[in-house]
Homo-oligomer: A and B are copies of this chain.
Amino acid sequence: MGMLSLLLLFLAFIVAISGGSEVGDLRKIHSLRPQFGAAGTPVPGLSCLSWRLGVEAHNIIEWRTIPQVCEDYLGHYMIGHQYKKDSEAVAKEAFVYAQSLKLAKDGKDIWVFDIDETALSNLPYYADHGFGAEPYNPTLFKGWVNTGKAPPLPESLKLYKKLLSIGLKVVFLTGRPENQRNITTINLKNAGYHTWEKLILKGASASGTTAVVYKSSEREKMERNGYRIIGNIGDQWSDILGTPVGNRTFKLPDPMYYIN
């Protein structure tokens, strides 16, 4: 890729970015260093696009922070339109699937939603903390959760409403601890999630187990109680791996953190 195309891309970035963002937190994206051209022309070193794809396809696992060199790239991705588009494609596919089913309408067909980066978005928090470039800080993150101000992930909220409209029940299954039940309830309602069959938080007995083990065990209980898990959506592979996972699973994008 020549200097001319680099320059043009850079200019295009500037113009595209100055077109405005949804979150309005572009001050965090402090410098503009495009890692890649639009057709994937490589810049020497790490491909942040490939890293993100590797994360979403479950090839790259058990990472603790995003590659530092990808902070700008991922900031643009998360705050720009593509994260929204990618989430929308998943939610649409989920509803196409749900709509194709013949439901028993006996109140036992459920759809499992994870909460963080699925029903609710912590993007306002992560935009202030390097989009995953800073190591996870449980104290600070707890402070954010306790404000109860996480907005909905808009595509998930739309999906939630559509699923309810065709007669499915929703279960929220989250790794948030039991002592965040009140604030989580308030936050969910304020974000537009007004009803649910169950809100399952991680109790003391499950503490120390991985998300895969804890969530599988909770889904197993649901099935033992006669529920049929028609669908299951989350941003982490640990939301949708294990047994049982549900008839079909959907992985929302999340290149900011990894939970086992």
Contact = CB atoms under 8 A, between A and B. Distances in A.
Interface stretch (A47-55, A123-131, A140-148, A220-228): A47-55
Contacts of A80: 39-41
A85 B47 contact: yes
Q: A-side binding surface: helix, strand, loop or mixed?
A: helix
B13 A38 contact: yes
Contacts of A8: 8-9, 11-12, 15
A208 interface: no
Interface stretch (A88-96, A113-121, A170-178): A88-96
20 contacts: A1-B16, A2-B15, A4-B15, A5-B12, A8-B12, A9-B12, A12-B12, A34-B38, A39-B80, A40-B76, A40-B77, A40-B80, A50-B82, A50-B85, A50-B86, A50-B88, A51-B89, A53-B53, A57-B251, A57-B253
Interface string A7-31: 0110111011101000000000000
A54 to B, nearest CB: 5
A64 interface: no
Contact of A38 (B4, B37, B50, B251): B37
A231 to B, nearest CB: 11
Contacts of A17: 39
A39 B19 CA distance: 12
A19 B1 contact: yes
A131 to B, nearest CB: 14
Contacts of A89: 47, 50-51, 53-54, 59-60
A193 interface: no
Given A42-B81, A80-B40, A93-B60, A86 B16 contact: no
**Nearest 10 pairs of A and B residues by beta carbon:** A40-B82, A5-B15, A50-B89, A8-B12, A47-B85, A38-B38, A9-B12, A56-B57, A57-B251, A50-B86
A189 interface: no
Contact of A5 (B19, B34, B90, B253): B19
A6 B60 CA distance: 33
Contact of A90 (B1, B41, B54, B81): B54
B5 A16 contact: yes
Nearest to A56: B57
B90 A59 contact: yes
A41 B16 contact: yes
